[in-house]
Amino acid sequence: MRETDTQIATHQLQCISKIKIFLLALMCAFVSKTLSGSFINSILTQLERQFNLSTSLVGLINGSFEIGNLLLMVFVSYFGTKMHRPMLIAIGCMTMGFGCFLQSLPHFLMDPYEYETTVSKASNFSSNNFLCMRKETQIFTPTEEPSECTNEVKSSMWLYVLVGNIIRGIGETPIKPLGISYIEDFVKTENSPLYIGCLETGSIIGPLIGFLLGSFCVNMYVDVGSVNTDDLIITPADTRWVGAWWLGLLICAGANVLSGVPFLFLPKSLPKVGLETNMDIIEDERNETKTEKGDITMDFLPLMKSLFCNRIYVLFLVTSILQFNAFAIMFSFLPKYMEQQYGISASEAIFLMGIYNLPPICFGYLAGGFIMKKFKINVKQAAYIAFCISLLDYFLNMLCFLTICDNSPIAGLTVSYEGTQRDVYMERNLLADCNIDCNCQDKIWDPVCGDNNLSYMSACLAGCETYYGTGINMSFQNCSCITSSRNTSAFLGLCGSSPACSLMLQYFLILSALSSFIYSLAAIPGYMVFLRSIKPKEKALGVGLHMFCTRILAGIPAPIYFGVLIDSTCLHWGTLRCGKSGACRIYDSINFRTIYLGLSTTLRGVSYVPASFIVLILRKQIQSAESNTTVTELVINRKENEDKEINRQFIHLKDDEIQTKL
């Protein structure tokens, strides 16, 4: 008997050890998949510039990941529970690695990146045809040769990125639903929130590393090692700059492949924690085998019907779709928003986004899971906590409307040549009395900043006649349009943001950090309401269906329709040598802000309508259950009192009989 107990204890310890190994491996998989996802989000602007795409088309590339998910999501979530789940997760991780590698291929198949400029790079700055040449004609002429246009634009290369992202989405499909269902099946119920909180923490560590990697790669020139960077006349702050996006993708590919290796050595299933005897373990394994031998498609439709008849599940699904639309917009385009709104470089925007947003989210997830475990929060309490905390975050997030900056002053676009404000959507006149006889190209984006803190689209449009220096140190003098300053000189690039705008950036980052912590604090209680609202046998399908719906109704369309709205705020599109439009160079930051914050805030606000119904339904259900319990207790107490009265009367009758006999 003692030997049997020892064997059972050893078996239980092995089970606990294996589930912890699985949890650690799954955390690594979460880190690697979110690492690659956040890195791709951080380089969307670089892809836009590299392939000269519109924001809406870049949104399609971003949403293609969700398309890959949709191809297998529901079927993997349901049928995957009947198969070897760790093995499927391993295959998924390695598939994601292949997708990341495929996305990096265009860099090795394309010629070196060429940015638009009025400066003649072929002449090594020996010609001054990019300056104001009064009574002369500039040498720059667009090429009309179709083959040269094809060689320059490389329009088909972005399809590698699109297909690679679809493959990455296919590989990501089994990781979350099968991983969570595996944990839910083989751990104690009270430990589940903490374990899922650990997984969510892993899904935050990955993006943190991804954004730091993105910041590092974006700050490095795309063709580093193959071109002389000393000859560049653009900096990372320039809207024509393209960073080494391909380098990070290769790192992500390696991380995804390595994260899949541990799952190859994990078992298909584990004994459920809490089984006390070997007979229980054997019987449990027999039941699983019997279930697997049955027709696994037999109960698919009944389970689907049961899920859609579950009011809490459906309302949670609607809430998630609305909020995922808002978060897809905010997360995908936050670096672009910060870059355009506050005048910082893409590398700095990515770095600040990672540092200020992700650590608070990580602490919020851990705190939420700890609170659920420590105080043993029930479903009703979890719903109240999630709703109230999320609503507090919503009102806090609305303060971001106050952290605003004006458009960057660019002569002829956002302000007049005298520096006065103008309607950005009026007919633009980039020519003025100071440069009308300079024979300038008025479509080429090659900005310079004058000593009057006013930017111009090119040195020629600023009326500059001479220059000195080379590369990024080039400066211009004798600029006829710069009249409000003692000096009439200019230097490359847009003018920096004002001190007031820099202060607004700090306020925005602080609000963003607080908002991230508060919302993530509500995430684990909210997810527990979701998991506890569905039956155990519906759990894997319910999680997969939830992911399917949020992707098809939020993850795919949100970046596309929001990209179209962003494109409508573009003030100047880049111009290629073949005359076609390139990527947008400057946006109307006021309208950009209105669309970005207004749309995301509206979507989140509407989501609280179905969320409030969830709270009311749970409250009603629990009150009904408590009422039934009270009635049952009253009936039991009444029955006990009646039994006591009958016993008392019986004893009294017995005493009377005894007295009579005596």
294 CB-near residues (< 8 Å, 6+ apart): none
Nearest alpha carbon to residue 239 among 596, 587, 564 = 587
At position 512, the amino acid (one-letter code) is S
Nearest alpha carbon to residue 542 among 73, 190, 10 = 73
pLDDT tens digit string along 183-205? 777 777 667 777 777 787 778 78
Q: Which two tokens stand for residue 476?
A: 């211009």
Q: Which two tokens stand for residue 146?
A: 């179709």
Residue 92's pLDDT is 92
Distance (Å, rounded) from C-alpha 248 to C-alpha 7?
49
Residue 485's pLDDT is 61
Q: Is the dihedral of CA 351, 354, 357, 359 positive or negative?
A: negative
Q: Which residues pair with 573 in a beta bridge?
A: 584
pLDDT tens digit string along 459-511? 888 888 888 888 788 888 888 888 766 678 888 888 888 888 999 999 999 99
Q: Which two tokens stand for residue 601?
A: 């805030």
pLDDT for residue 256 is more than 90: yes
C-alpha distances out from residue 444 to 43, 467, 607, Å:
24, 19, 44
Residue 271's pLDDT is 63
pLDDT tens digit string along 299-352? 778 888 888 899 999 999 999 999 999 988 888 889 999 998 998 988 999 999
C-alpha distances out from residue 610 to 312, 378, 524, 624, Å:
9, 20, 18, 21
Task: Name the pairing type of β-strands 570-575 and 490-492.
Answer: unpaired
Asked if residue 225 lies in contact with residue 114, where contact means CB atoms within 8 angstroms, the answer is no
Mean pLDDT of 63-72: 85
H-run or E-run covering 574: strand 570-575
Triad 570, 573, 576: Cα angle to 5°: 165
535 falls in which pLDDT band (50, 70, 90)? confident
Asked if residue 465 lies in contact with residue 132, where contact means CB atoms within 8 angstroms, the answer is yes
Mark out the alpha helices in 343-459 (DSSP H runs).
346-374, 379-397
Residue 220's pLDDT is 93
pTM, full prediction: 0.80
